[in-house]
Amino acid sequence: MSERGTPGAKGAGDPSKATSTGPTPEEAALAFEAAGVKTTPALTESDLRALDRDLDARVFGAMESISIRYLLLVGFLGSVVAFGAFAFGWQIYKGIGVTGLNRPVFWGFYIASFVFWIGISHAGTLVSAILRVLKVEWRMPLTRAAEAMTLFALMIGGLFPIIHLGRNWRFYWMIPVPNERGLWPNFRSALMWDLLAILTYITASSLFLLLPLIPDLATARDRTRGLRRRIYGLLSFGWRGTQQQWHRLHVAMRVFTIVVIPIAVSVHTIVSWDFGMTLVEGWRSTVFGPYFVIGAIYSGMAALITVLVLVRRSLKLDDYVTLRHFDRLGKVLLAVSVIWFYMFWAGFLTDWYGGSTVAKLIQHEHVAGHSAVLFWTMMVVNVLVPFLFLWFRRVRTSMPAMLVISLLVNVGMWIERFLIVTSPRINSLSYDWGSYTPQWPEIAIATATFAAFALLYVLFSKALPLISLWEVKEGWRVDRWRREGLVEAETDVPPLATGTTAATGATGSAVRGGAS
């Protein structure tokens, strides 16, 4: 049994008989205890095919069933999004003055939400791309959810620079087109940097989501009829599961995995430069680049845990998204929380010890002034809660606990972005000090973006498989071949069989030394 989420199978053996290439007896016992399985299955080819059918039935069954509760949820989320659209229309009609933005705070809820959503998008990079490069096998049932979350967060985050504009209909001035006369766009503007970065990242993320979807879309094509069959057939690009197609898919995935990581890191570094390259006190920091990247990974991991808890329960995928996965994700979240606190403390201590008078006043405002409640809430939920609870496996494998902790972390991360964005209300000109209070259009639009994110996920769950079926099935077979001594590593897979079908989603049946 690997840690990919293989459910129990008939004809299981004893965990103590695990080979040296598989998990140790202690690891196997822990995995099966977490998954609610008492014995280690000795999977045969017939067992694997039965598991394939069960996985397909669960995932596609969840896609095809639409209940009254689902429709009510879609209606509720859609109504929240519609109210946010109304608030945006009201803002366009009345002008940007209906918001709380004013001198000296020109960035508020919108830019704080922009930074937050771009940070959420880093979950797909960490879980799918980085863990794929590191050959971490337990990632397989999680990659699709993480990749979808990346794309949805980028779609939502990319709207905020446009929403923030005073004349939204002039958004095309931010597009980086050839500009020999130096009229527009303004290449020194942070808005143009953001748009360029987002367009690059959203293109790469869309391809990174689409490529591993192709075999599963072909499976959906073969299982459906009518309009859905035609749509899936169009999106699967004529996939038939031939040896050449599998080879090209694996090569393309390896290339995009390497490409998307530096793109993701550079995107949030550019977002940090929106602040760090100004002369505003509280923003001038040389550690903002790595600090923002770590914060993005932190909030993205927490958001992924939240999504997986809800998906696991709503789609009844307990056998595939197991407690073992949450145990590992909890450890990653704990590690990232420690790194984030180190980066935060490095910047905070530097400003306190050698910063200017204004920087120290901003710190005092956060620690003991009007922002103290927000600041200490952030410290408790971002540092204290993860550090006190995520050390314990019982907490990491408790779905209610992980849901609460992950939600609290993202509440804290949004507060952290809000405190950074509103820091200029204290500056070097004491007569220019001011305050910032968000107005109802800002709150409505920010709330609508969370509803839009949930709505996109809810619709996605009925349109496309939320689990990468072929990767999970491939992982089961590679695990079996490893136990039989036919392969030594995840990448050391046998040659693909020419007759592999799209419906199985497996990599083929031919192995070294004969058929499996």
Domain spans of the chain, in order of start: 43-515
Q: Tell whether omega for the bond before 441 is within 30 degrees of 0, i.e. cis.
A: no
Candidates 353, 348, 327, 206; CA nearest to 282 is: 348
Per-residue confidence (pLDDT) for residue 425, from 0 to 100: 73
The CATH classification of domain 43-515, taken from the options 1.20.1630.10, 3.40.50.300, 1.10.10.10, 3.30.479.10: 1.20.1630.10
Residue-level pLDDT, tens digit, the chain, 516 residues: 444 455 544 333 443 333 434 444 444 444 544 544 444 455 677 878 888 888 888 888 888 888 899 999 999 999 999 999 999 999 999 988 888 888 778 888 899 999 999 989 887 777 788 888 887 778 888 888 888 999 999 999 989 988 988 888 888 777 777 766 666 677 777 777 888 888 888 998 898 889 889 999 998 888 888 888 899 899 888 888 888 898 998 899 888 888 888 888 888 888 888 887 877 777 877 788 899 999 999 999 999 999 999 988 888 888 888 888 899 999 999 999 999 999 999 888 888 887 678 888 888 888 988 889 999 999 999 999 999 999 999 999 999 999 999 999 999 999 999 998 888 777 666 666 777 888 999 999 999 999 999 999 999 988 888 888 888 888 777 777 777 666 555 444 444 333 344 444 444 433 333 333
Q: Determine the Cα–Cα distance for residues 301 and 307; give it in Å rounded to an integer.
A: 10
Residue 509 has what pLDDT? 34
Give the C-alpha separation, 465 to 469, whole Å: 8
Half-sphere exposure of 389 (CA within 13 A, CB side): 22
Please give the structure tokens belonging to residue 393.
Answer: 């496996």
CB 183 within 8 A of CB 434: no
Residue 507: per-residue pLDDT: 42
With CA atoms as reference, report the closest residue to 511 among 6, 45, 23, 137: 45
Q: What's the one-letter identity of residue 43? A: L
b/e burial code for range 333-346 (CB count within 10 A of at least 16 → b): bbebbeebbebbee
185 preceded by cis ω (within 30°)? yes
Cα separation of 238 and 502, whole Å? 10
pLDDT of residue 178: 72
Instruction: Tell whether the torsion through CA atoms of 167, 169, 171 and 177 is positive or negative.
Output: negative
| Closest to 344 in 3D by CA, of 298, 385, 281, 304 | 298
**Residue 38 pLDDT:** 43
Q: Is the dihedral of CA 62, 60, 132, 201 positive or negative?
A: negative
List helix spans (H) across 65-170.
68-94, 109-120, 122-124, 131-133, 143-157, 160-164
pLDDT at 487: 57
**pLDDT at position 418, please?**
92
Helix (H, G, I), strand (E, B) or coil at 514: strand
Pairwise CA distance, residues 470 & 461, whole Å? 17
